[in-house]
Amino acid sequence: MTSSLGALENNSATDATEIPLEELLQTEYIPASHIANQISNAASAVSIVTAQDIKDYGYRTLSEILSSMRGLHVPQSYTYSFLGGRGYPSNEYAGRIIVLIDGYRADDSMFGQAYLGNDGILDVALIDRVEYVPGGGSAGYGDGALLGAINIITKKGSDISGTQVALGFGSRHGRQQRVSFGEKLDNGANLLISASSFNANGSIEKDGDNDEENKRLFAKYDAESFSFQGAYAKRQINHPTYSAIDSLVYGDENAFALFKYNTDIASALKLSSSFWYGHYIYSSDYLDPEVYRYESENIAQWHGGDAKLIGTWFDNHTISLGVGYRHDYRWQDRGTSFDMIFNDVDSYDSSYQPRKTYSLYAYDDFAISPSLSLNYGVRYEKSNNDVKRILSPRASLIYQPWDESILKLSTGVSNRQATQSEGEWDKPERAKTEELVLEQQLGWQTKLIGSLYRYRISDRISYGNTECIIARGAEVEIEKHWEEGIRLRTSYARQNTKNSNGERLGQSPSHLAKFNLSTPLWNDQLRMSAEAQYTGKYLPYTGSSNYHDAYTVVNLNLLARKIAPNLDINVLAHDVFKKSDKEKTTYLPQSGRTFWLQLEYTFQ
Amino acid sequence: MRQLVLFLIFVVSFLRADALPEYTIKAAYLYNFALLTDWHDGKMSGDFNICFYKEDFGSASNALNNKVLHNQNVKISTVTTAEETKECQIVFIREGEEQRGEKLIQKLAGTSVLIVSESPKISDAHITMLRDNRKIAFDINLKPIKAADLSVSSRLLKLARRVEQ
């Protein structure tokens, strides 16, 4: 390893200007990468993971992607991954941060879950980038984006350019298959179609107790002015039970269809619109053979649309005006129990009042001077339930005193309506957020981000308590890319969340640190990527007197690109030092050390 | 672990180490473009300014320092305005600066600055370096080169992937 790194240094030390031009044309290059710029128009401290990171670090789920981001921690239970961040506990953060796939809101309206593991709607191989936008996002994204949004942008057909077949093999008899086809068509449109499946004999418990399988389909047609895409995913997982005889299987089915249309109405006026359908079905099947069976389903279906006009009539102003509509038209619980001893069948079927939400919004992006701009806007939402109306304003000031530094100061109020499963609440949960961000370039491909924030969350929709909580924190991150293809990203987050009784919240570690380093070992064909994620000690639940120990998870991935023509292979070791097992002392047992081998072949 | 080591050996046996970092190659290209282009008299004395719009190549740009081109001492600098850029013999516009880059090119019209970019989205650049199947190729756009009163050698034209007349 040392010798190849040495070879790399020798390479960069050679004076390439001495190489004849004819020979330069034949020299292979080690790609340099620029630090990705955020796409989202947000004034908070955005984190970005790109397709290149996903490939180089061997990420396999959205939860692995998010775990690498500043200030986030993503513990798992037997069945789901939970997201915690900005001081908010992992057992409650879901539903308070929304997931958007190419603009489609993918969290379900029944439980408000984001589906980050193998239950996630997208195969991560189809993701071009993930942007995590912390902070109140209701003005921009609507009710629910109480503490932020995860923006997922999917790949285009041309990013695959051919037919790709991927096979994965891993710990606990893990198997994964994927076939993707992508191409830029003659008419300029991009087409991407993908199907994949995964199965394993348990992610956490000993073999056989925790069987998991999923199937995923995705298709996207992307032309200049319109696009159409659809996705379907179903995951089934066996929850480990105490006796060896009975079984409990959970199912999560997510699907959506999205149509988008954009056009220039006039030289200074654009229309951007979208229409969507989505559904989520949660099922559980408990079976004690020859004794008892209980099957149940929770079904949610919704559709909606959004139309936005973006005008640049006035100098220095970009004005957006929009209307939105969302109809959660089906919320249904049903189930049947079979008592096989007494031959008794019992069933129930209940539907809940559907919900319609209308929204109106307006934003102005005002360039006061070349170095100072003000973004402000408001969203008004009205539902046909007890909540009636919701107002979410925001404002941010962006100051760039010189080329290398940007200061962003933002404030806003965000809201979240109760999900169906939380029952009827007459007030939305509210978050008042303030954040100060500094983005500083420190020389070539070196960037520092610092953030200070304070959230006050009131009218909490939470089991058993409605007290307000205050979250405060400071974050710092440095990212650097070297021209040899080495990339470093490291961050530290300090967070402090207390409720109105002065109690520290459970599942909210005070310190989180991340370290990510990806380096070529041999040209660009062999690359090693390592990450370390430190989770500081935390209380397992609010009011607990004992802290859970801090731990550090280290992941290693070795990627061989074009090892044979068109073939990429990677080997991933997750939690190399087996530190996350410590979580077993709580009710959130972690997977421990696992291995994964993946082969990806592209027919071109 | 043993399997991993064996796997590594297997992988490494397939590889060759003759690649160079992208910007080391691109810096060498800039040097060659400068070598194979002629400027009119006004720019044939004083320092030979190789300029980078907004951002240079980091340590890869050092290879250009202390070089001599057309009997002039090479000076590398970072520029941000059109006024500064007019003093340069060559300016490089990087990927990600497409919008501002296009505006800069408009303002440079009629001055003899060789405009090199690495983004296919900047259509008015004189020379564009492109990633092409693991190698760096370049396209030449002759019309604006002539308009800028520059002449590039036939050797350069011959090696270009595409020459637009």
pLDDT digit string, tens, across residues A110-153: 988 889 999 999 999 999 999 999 988 899 998 888 888 999 99
d(CA A436, CA A433): 10
Query: CA nearest A60: which of A574, A466, A499?
Result: A574
Q: Where does residue A241 rank: exposed (0-12), middle (13-18), buried (19+ CB within 10 A)? A: middle
Query: Has this prediction a pTM greater than 0.80?
Result: yes
Shortest Cα–Cα distance, A100 to chain B (Å) = 25
Shortest Cα–Cα distance, B42 to chain A (Å) = 26
Count of domains in chain A?
Answer: 1
Q: Measured between CB atoms, which of B22, B58, B80 is closest to A444?
A: B58
pLDDT by residue (tens digit) across A346-363? 999 999 999 999 999 999
Disruptive mutation site among B7, B11, B53, B119 for chain A (greatest number of A CBs within 10 Å): B11
Shortest Cα–Cα distance, B41 to chain A (Å) = 25
Query: How high is the pLDDT of residue B3?
Result: 63
Query: How high is the pLDDT of residue A460?
Result: 85
In chain B, whose CA is at the least distance from the CA of A441? B55
DSSP state letters, A571-590: EEEESTT--GGGGGGTT---
Residues of chain A contacting B36 with CB distance shorter than 8 Å? 21
> Pairing relation of β-strands A551-564 and A526-535?
antiparallel
Query: How high is the pLDDT of residue A94?
Result: 63
Indicate the fold that domain B19-160 takes in CATH. Rossmann fold (3.40.50)
Disruptive mutation site among B1, B4, B22, B24 for chain A (greatest number of A CBs within 10 Å): B24
Distances in Å between the Cα of B57 and the Cα atoms of A13, B21, B61, B63 are 15, 11, 5, 10
Q: Measured between CB atoms, which of A7, A444, A523 is closest to B56?
A: A444
- For chain A positions 369-408, those within 8 Å of chain B (CB to CB) are 403
Lowest-confidence pick of A41-45, A152-156, A335-339: A41-45
Q: Between chains, do A524 and B19 touch, taking CB under 8 Å as contact? A: yes
pLDDT by residue (tens digit) across A367-383? 999 899 999 999 999 99
Query: How high is the pLDDT of residue A242?
Result: 62
d(CA A112, CA A96): 8
Taking residues A1-8, report their average pLDDT: 34
Taking residues A150-159, report their average pLDDT: 93
d(CA A98, CA A419): 13
Q: Where does residue B45 rank: exposed (0-12), middle (13-18), buried (19+ CB within 10 A)? A: exposed
Q: Between chains, do B11 and A563 touch, taking CB under 8 Å as contact? A: yes
Taking residues A548-560, report their average pLDDT: 93
Query: Going along A247-312, which residue ranges are E strands?
Result: 247-266, 269-288, 292-311
Taking residues A254-273, report their average pLDDT: 94
Q: Between chains, do A29 and B59 touch, taking CB under 8 Å as contact? A: no
Tell me the pLDDT band of B60, cut-offs 50, 70 and 90.
confident
d(CA A570, CA A559): 4
Residues of chain A contacting B80 with CB distance shorter than 8 Å? 403
Tell me the pLDDT band of B95, cut-offs 50, 70 and 90.
confident
Tell me the pLDDT band of B61, cut-offs 50, 70 and 90.
confident
pLDDT by residue (tens digit) across B3-49? 665 665 555 545 545 788 889 999 999 999 999 999 987 788 889 99
Taking residues A51-78, report their average pLDDT: 92
d(CA B47, CA A251): 71
Residue A60 has pLDDT above 70, yes or no: yes
Question: For residues B18 and A561, which has the higher predicted lDDT (pLDDT)?
Answer: A561
Residues of chain A contacting B20 with CB distance shorter than 8 Å? 11-12, 14, 16, 27-30
Residues of chain A contacting B69 with CB distance shorter than 8 Å? none
- State the count of interchain CB pairs (< 8 A) between A and B: 126
Query: How high is the pLDDT of residue A462?
Result: 76
**Measured between CB atoms, does B58 come within 8 Å of chain A?**
yes
Report ipTM (2 d.p.): 0.86
Taking residues A276-298, report their average pLDDT: 94
Residue A452 has pLDDT above 70, yes or no: yes
In chain B, whose CA is at the least distance from the CA of A16? B28
Query: How high is the pLDDT of residue A8?
Result: 38
Backbone dihedral angles phi then psi of residue A115, each to the nearest 5 degrees: 55, 85
In chain B, whose CA is at the least distance from the CA of A6? B17
d(CA A473, CA A152): 25
Supply the CATH number for residue A266's domain. 2.40.170.20
Residues of chain B contacting A14 with CB distance shorter than 8 Å? 20, 24
Q: Between chains, do A444 and B131 touch, taking CB under 8 Å as contact? A: no
**Measured between CB atoms, does A11 come within 8 Å of chain B?**
yes
Q: Between chains, do B21 and A15 touch, taking CB under 8 Å as contact? A: no
**Measured between CB atoms, does B97 come within 8 Å of chain A?**
no
- For chain B positions 7-46, those within 8 Å of chain A (CB to CB) are 7-8, 11-12, 14-25, 27-29, 31-32, 36
Element (H, E) at A446: strand A446-458
Q: Between chains, do A11 and B4 touch, taking CB under 8 Å as contact? A: no
Q: Measured between CB atoms, which of A28, A37, A485 is closest to B134?
A: A28
Decide: A155 and A147 in contact? Cβ < 8 Å.
no
Q: How large a percentage of chain A has pLDDT more than 90?
A: 60
Tokens (6 digits) for A140: 């921009």
Mean pLDDT value across chain A: 88
pLDDT by residue (tens digit) across A161-210? 899 999 999 988 899 999 999 999 999 899 999 999 999 886 555 544 67
Query: How high is the pLDDT of residue A443?
Result: 80
Query: How high is the pLDDT of residue A466?
Result: 59
- For chain B positions 111-130, those within 8 Å of chain A (CB to CB) are none
Residue A405 has pLDDT above 70, yes or no: yes
Shortest Cα–Cα distance, B11 to chain A (Å) = 7
> Pairing relation of β-strands B20-21 and B127-132?
unpaired
**Measured between CB atoms, does A484 come within 8 Å of chain B?**
yes
Shortest Cα–Cα distance, B74 to chain A (Å) = 13
Domain of A114 in residue numbering reads as 2-603
Q: Between chains, do A24 and B19 touch, taking CB under 8 Å as contact? A: no
Backbone dihedral angles phi then psi of residue B24, each to the nearest 5 degrees: -65, -45
DSSP state letters, A140-187: HH-TT-SSEEEEEEEPPHHHH-EEEEEEEEETTTEEEEEEEEEEE-TT
Taking residues A518-544, report their average pLDDT: 89
Shortest Cα–Cα distance, A11 to chain B (Å) = 6
- For chain B positions 60-89, those within 8 Å of chain A (CB to CB) are 60, 63-64, 67, 80
Lowest-confidence pick of A69-73, A103-107, A291-295, A588-592: A588-592
